[in-house]
Each structure stands twice: as C-alpha cells, then as structure tokens.
Amino acid sequence: MKVVVLTGAGISAESGLSTFRDADGLWEGHDPMQVATPEAYADDPALVQRFYDERRAALSRVQPNAAHHALVRLEEALGEDLLVVTQNVDDLHERAGSQRVHHIHGRLQSAWCTACDERHAWDGPLAPGPSCPGCGTASLRPDIVWFGEIPYGMDLVEEALWECDLFVSIGTSGVVYPAAAFVHWARGDTLELNLEPSAGASDFARSRQGPATRLVPDWVGEVLGD
Ligand code: BJW
C-alpha cells in the first residue's frame, strides 16, 4: 500500500515548538506570518534573520515525540511505499529516524546564498551576516520557502499523491497552498489527524458532499495503539 503523509506544525507541537496560527501567536510583538515573507526580509533582514536564528537554536532544546517515532515505525513496515511530505522546517522527522522525508518549505538548518545560489548545511546564526562558504559574499538567507516562492520538489510530491492509496494529513491547518490542495490531488483514501477539522479537510468534505475525513483527537494514542 502506497501512503503519503503530510505533516504540519501540529506534529511538532508536542515537542514544544510553536505552531503558526494557534493561540500564543506573537513573536517579539510580530505575527510570525508577517515575518515569514520576502517583503519582511526586504524591509528588515536583521529582524527576519533573528526570527529564524532563534528557531534554529531552539531545535537543540527539543526532541522528536511519539508521533515522529510512529512514522518511523510506519516506514519500517512500508519501506519505499511511504513518503513523508512535511511543511515543517525543523529536523524532528529525521532525528526520529525517518529516511524518506521531503521538506516542501525548506529547512532551518540550511542556508541559501542569493549571490551564488548554493545551499549550505547551517547550524549557527545568520543575523551576523556570515560569508558564504562557496563564494565568500555575505548573502546568506534562511533556506525557507516564503509566501510567493515556489515550494520545493512539487513534481515528486504530485507524482506520489497521484500514486498513493492513502493520504494522511497530520497537524496542519490546511490554509496554506499548495499543501492545502494535496487532499484533492491524492488518488486514495484520506485521513486527517488533528485536534480540530482543518480548513483543508472541511473544503474536501464539502467537495465530496459528505464527511470525507476521520478526525482522531487523541491521535498519538490511536496511532500507537495504546
Ligand atoms: C495539532 C496539535 C497536536 C496543534 N496534534 N494537531 C489565495 C488563494 C490560494 C492561494 C494563495 C492565495 N494567495 C496566495 C496564495 C498562495 C500562498 C498561500 O497559500 N497563501 C494563503 C495564506 C492563502 N502560498 C504560497 O505562496 C506558497 N507558494 C506557492 O503557492 O507557489 C506557487 C506554486 C505552487 C506549487 C507549484 C508551483 C508554484 C508558499 C507557501 C510558503 C509557506 N511558508 C510558511 C513559512 C515558512 C516556513 C517557516 O517559517 O516555518 O510555512 S507559512 C507557514 O504556514 C509555514 C507552515 O509550513 C505553513 C502551514 O502551517 P501549518 O503547518 O498548517 O501550521 P498552523 O499553525 O497553521 O496549524 C497547526 C495545526 O496543528 C492546527 O490545525 C492545529 O489544530 C494542529 N495542532 N497541536 C495534532 N498536538
């Protein structure tokens, strides 16, 4: 059985990483959604770099949770028939042990040089304006897909969705495209694991004129069979 799992910020919430649209919202008085844009970066690069530097540093203080580990066990069972597509820019899937993870919105631990177009593994801060290890210019930005930019590897994702027997969406609000449309593109059955029905699931249910997703509020226990 071919399975595509889409994950969003909700899967990392139990590890202690904030989601984007849930309650506590503001970062230094800014809406994270306003900071995570090319316009914000053009206006105030230092502010945006600091936002991502803090989130990169926070990774060392958190651990994968039971949901990340459950997906590793699913991969052990399904092998190459499982693809995890994540909107998250953290590395918790990889640290849990998942091998087949595709980050459509980039990764915190990668820096992109806008001068030479090379990408470099990056663990430290970018706000001080370090030189690119490739070309030596101070042109490194977070390797993150902001609004209006094209998500990574969409061909691979589209193909996997066309071929899948089951599409599982975990912990995403379903308001950001193209990920919000994956439930429509998926050929197979669909399952949503979330604390509440997402916008994507509601749209999908309407388009199929009936309940098309099953919600599992206590989803970690369900997945683990506790
Ligand atoms: C739990 C839980 C627990 C909590 N257990 N669950 C008008 C109409 C349609 C589209 C557009 C439009 N205007 C513009 C667009 C396009 C735009 C877009 O979608 N805008 C919308 C706002 C309308 N999209 C883009 O620009 C994208 N690019 C694009 O479309 O290019 C064109 C193209 C596409 C395809 C092929 C070719 C060309 C780029 C989008 C980039 C998004 N970037 C961000 C920030 C960068 C990453 C970062 O800083 O981390 O990515 S935005 C932000 O939202 C982040 C996230 O990955 C993304 C999704 O958020 P997510 O993960 O869903 O988090 P939340 O907080 O929203 O939800 C958390 C969920 O967890 C909730 O449901 C909770 O209930 C749940 N939860 N605890 C389970 N314990």
pLDDT of the chain, 226 residues: tens digit per residue: 999 999 999 999 999 998 988 766 677 778 888 899 999 999 999 999 999 999 999 999 999 999 999 999 999 999 999 999 999 999 999 999 999 999 999 999 999 999 999 999 999 999 999 999 999 999 999 999 999 999 999 999 999 999 999 999 999 999 999 999 999 999 989 999 999 888 876 666 666 544 444 444 444 444 444 4
Give the distance, in angstroms, between the CA of residue 153 and the centroid of all CA atoms in the same chain: 13
- CATH H superfamily, domain 18-61+106-144: SIR2/SIRT2 'Small Domain' (3.30.1600.10)
pLDDT of residue 87: 98
Q: How many Cβ atoms sit within 10 Å of the Cβ of residue 20? A: 17
How many angstroms separate the CA atoms of 39 and 13, rounded?
27
**Ligand 1 centre distance from Cα of residue 105 (Å):** 9
Residue found by looking up tokens 């993870």 in the block: 101
**Ligand 1 centre distance from Cα of residue 157 (Å):** 16
Site residues for ligand 1, CB cut-off 6 Å: 8-10, 13-14, 19-22, 36, 87, 89, 105, 144-151, 154, 171-173, 175-178, 194-196, 198
**pTM for the structure as a whole:** 0.93
Helix/strand/coil for 210: coil
Give the HSE-up count for residue 155: Cα atoms under 13 Å, Cβ half-sphere: 0
Q: Which of 84, 108, 90, 97 is nearest to 182 (CA)?
A: 84
Is 28 within 8 Å of 191 (Cβ atoms)? no
Give the distance, in angstroms, between the CA of residue 51 and the centroid of all CA atoms in the same chain: 17
Cross-strand partners of 193: 170
**Residues identified as active-site:** 105
What's the CATH architecture for 1-17+64-105+151-226? 3-Layer(aba) Sandwich (3.40)
How many angstroms separate the CA atoms of 162 and 160, rounded?
5
Is 146 within 8 Å of 170 (Cβ atoms)? no
In this structure, what token pair is assigned to residue 38? 């090319």
User: Do 1-17+64-105+151-226 and 18-61+106-144 have matching folds?
Assistant: no
For the chain, domain boundaries: 1-17+64-105+151-226, 18-61+106-144
pLDDT of residue 28: 75
Q: How many Cβ atoms sit within 10 Å of the Cβ of residue 156? A: 13
- Which atom of ligand 1 approaches the CA of 176 most closely? 19
**Ligand 1 centre distance from Cα of residue 201 (Å):** 14
